[in-house]
């Protein structure tokens, strides 16, 4: 057995702070191991980082993954996972795990398009089945998308499920307020999120594993006063860490501003608490997020676009994306990225070959692009982390923004 993890804020050790931004680097000392920060956390939504084995995820350099409370409670169920020793044992991932609260998924059913909105997709995308049955102070009743059974999730349920999953970091149950609702709705919803925070913390104090960290979640929509108030209200409850959630705006500029309201406030009231930014992971967003003092990020982007034939490459003009489904890749003899050490590029697989595999509907290509994308993001975070420690972040961030590969920046 390893040493018992330290309590309270000792679980996060800030080792360097940048002199010209809010960036910091450090180490999270978690139950199942350490996580160097700033870090990107790949999604293992249903108990797997899609198409990869845990060993592959580890070899890419990731130290923590994210499990999804909502999906795992529906299938296979938290009790079954607990019988197998928790999510880490069940899926054979030996390192730390963060679980989301399920709030985002539950409320996405009710709000219809909040998931699309937060992820920057069109609000008029494919229709979602509204399986929400009711929302009140207790929580949310909904229908399982697997068998149609009526289910309930409230603050205590979410914490109980996360305790059974045995994650190193649990997130409190919150209402993910969408962008299209009114200021008044945002205010009411944010206040309810704070009441639910209290219920989550008291449930955890009485029943949760001592070694499990609990992060509060800042809401407040795109309103500066509410974001700042929510940040102060969450910090005042003294959770083990603080996540920033909800709709962050219509575009990147607004998102950076909304995040900065929270991090400015946190620099004042909780400078030593670890901070997680929920659901954000584009290359430029990770660079900006680090500058704003975010410690950990999770996002479906690298794995999701990989499965759909798009590689992450150092091309700011195309939002760091290379669409391999396009005919331009048909006879392209280049690697995905020059000098890339990922399992795909280091084997010499060309863009033309990957394009062919996509056309031929061969599953191997999903794995190859996923491996490359996560490798790129892992090296990006390594580079940013080193730059914070060396106090060279402005130059490194500028090089990355102008299209340098992380291993050359
Ligand atoms: Zn590669």
User: Between 335 and 134, whose confidence is greater?
Assistant: 335
Ranges 104-108, 194-198, 405-409: which has the least confidence: 104-108
Tokens 């991090």 found at: 263
Distance 381 CA to ligand 1 centre (A): 15
Give residue 114's pLDDT band: very low, low, confident or very high (50, 70, 90).
Answer: very low
Q: Would the pLDDT of 59 be above 80?
A: yes
Mark which of 246, 268, 299 sits at the end of a domain. Answer: 299
Same domain, 286 and 376: no
Residue 2 has pLDDT above 70, yes or no: no
Other C-beta atoms closer than 10 Å to the C-beta of 395 total 11
Please indicate, yes or no, whether residues 379 and 292 belong to a single structural domain of this protein.
Answer: no
User: Which position has the higher pLDDT, 264 or 107?
Assistant: 264
Phi, then psi, of 10 in degrees rounded to 5: -65, -15
How many angstroms does the Cα of residue 302 sit away from the middle of ligand 1? 12
User: How close is the Cα of 61 to the center of ligand 1, in Å?
Assistant: 14
Distance 91 CA to ligand 1 centre (A): 26
* pLDDT at residue 1 tops 80: no
Same domain for 109 and 129, yes or no, is yes
> Before 76, cis peptide (omega within 30)?
yes
Q: Is residue 88 helix, strand or coil?
A: helix
Query: Residue 108's pLDDT is what?
Result: 82
* 400 C-alpha to ligand 1 centroid (Å): 16
129 and 18 in a common domain: yes
Q: Report whether 312 contacts 293 (CB < 8 A).
A: no
Instruction: Name which of 76, 70, 106, 74 is nearest 91 in CA terms.
Output: 76
Q: What does the pLDDT read at residue 111? A: 66
For residues 212 and 321, state if they share a domain: no
pLDDT of residue 301 exceeding 80, the answer is yes
- The whole-angstrom separation of Cα 148 and Cα 335 is 46
Q: Is residue 385 part of a domain?
A: yes
Same-domain pairing of 287 and 375:
no
Residues 212 and 204: beta-carbon distance below 8 Å:
yes
| DSSP per-residue codes, 75-123 | TT-HHHHHHTTSHHHHHT--S-EEEE-SHHHHHHHHHSSHHHHHTT--T
Spatial separation of the C-alpha atoms in residues 261 and 251, rounded to whole Å: 16
Residue 2 falls within a domain, yes or no? no
- Tokens matching residue 319: 């939002």
| Residue-range definition of the domain harbouring residue 387 | 310-401
- Residues recognised as catalytic: 100, 298
In a domain, 52, yes or no: yes
Q: Give the pLDDT confidence of 185-230 residue by residue, as tens digits.
A: 999 999 999 999 999 999 999 999 999 999 999 999 999 999 999 9
List C-alpha distances in Å: 176 to 17, 189, 231, 354.
Answer: 31, 8, 15, 38
Q: Which residues pair with 215 in a beta bridge?
A: 171, 241
279 and 335 part of one domain: no
DSSP tag of 47: S
The distance in angstroms from the start CA to the end CA of the chain is: 39
pLDDT band at 128 (very low <50, low <70, confident <90, very high): very low
For ligand 1, the distance from its centroid to the CA atom of residue 312, given in whole angstroms, is 9
Q: How far is CA 55 from the centre of its chain?
A: 20
Average pLDDT of the chain, as a whole number: 93
What is the structure's pLDDT at 377?
98
Ligand 1 centroid, distance to 386 Cα (angstroms):
21
Indicate the DSSP class of residue 277. E
pLDDT (tens digit, 9 = 90+) per residue, 337-394? 999 999 999 999 999 999 999 999 999 999 999 999 999 999 999 999 999 999 999 9
**pLDDT for 130 beyond 50:** no
CA 162 to CA 141: how far, in whole Å? Answer: 18
Report residue 6's pLDDT band, with 50, 70 and 90 as the boundaries: very low
Which CATH number goes with the domain that contains 13?
3.20.20.105
Distance 383 CA to ligand 1 centre (A): 16
Total domain count for the chain? 2
Query: Residue 335 Cα, ligand 1 centroid: separation in angstroms?
Result: 7
Query: Tokens in use for 278?
Result: 């929920």
């Amino acid at each position: 057995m390893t040493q018992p993890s330290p309590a309270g804020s000792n679980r996060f050790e800030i080792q360097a702070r940048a002199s010209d931004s809010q960036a910091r680097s450090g180490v999270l000392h978690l139950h199942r191991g350490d996580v160097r920060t700033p870090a990107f956390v790949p999604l293992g939504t249903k108990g797997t980082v899609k198409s990869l084995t845990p060993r592959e995820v580890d070899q890419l350099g990731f130290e923590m993954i994210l499990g999804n409370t909502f999906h795992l409670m529906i299938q296979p169920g938290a009790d079954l996972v607990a019988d197998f020793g928790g999510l880490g044992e069940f899926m054979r991932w030996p390192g730390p795990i963060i679980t989301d609260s399920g709030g985002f998924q539950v409320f996405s059913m009710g709000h219809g398009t909040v998931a699309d909105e937060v992820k920057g997709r069109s609000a008029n995308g494919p229709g979602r089945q509204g399986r929400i049955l009711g929302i009140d102070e207790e929580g949310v009743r909904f229908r399982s998308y697997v068998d149609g059974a009526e289910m309930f999730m409230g603050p205590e349920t979410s914490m109980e499920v996360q305790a059974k999953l045995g994650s190193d970091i649990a997130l409190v149950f919150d209402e993910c307020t969408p962008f299209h609702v009114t200021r008044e709705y945002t205010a009411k919803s944010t206040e309810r999120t704070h009441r639910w925070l209290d219920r989550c913390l008291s449930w955890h104090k009485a029943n949760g594993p001592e070694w499990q960290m609990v992060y509060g979640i800042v809401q407040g929509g795109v309103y500066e006063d509410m974001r700042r108030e929510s940040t102060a209200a969450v910090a005042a409850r003294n959770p083990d860490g603080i996540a920033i959630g909800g709709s962050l705006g219509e575009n990147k500029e607004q998102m950076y501003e909304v995040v900065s309201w929270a991090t400015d406030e946190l620099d004042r009231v909780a400078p030593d608490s670890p901070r997680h930014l929920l659901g954000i992971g584009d290359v430029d967003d990770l660079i900006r997020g680090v500058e704003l003092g975010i410690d950990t990020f999770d996002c479906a982007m690298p794995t999701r676009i990989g499965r759909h034939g798009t590689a992450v490459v150092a091309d700011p003009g195309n939002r760091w994306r290379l669409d391999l489904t396009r005919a331009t890749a048909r006879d392209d003899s280049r690697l995905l990225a020059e000098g890339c050490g990922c399992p795909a590029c280091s084997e010499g697989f060309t863009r033309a070959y990957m394009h062919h595999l996509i056309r031929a509907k061969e599953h191997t290509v999903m794995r190859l692009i996923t491996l490359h994308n996560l490798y790129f993001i892992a090296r990006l975070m390594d580079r940013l982390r080193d730059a914070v420690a060396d106090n060279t972040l402005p130059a490194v961030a500028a090089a990355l923004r102008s299209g340098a590969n992380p291993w050359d920046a």
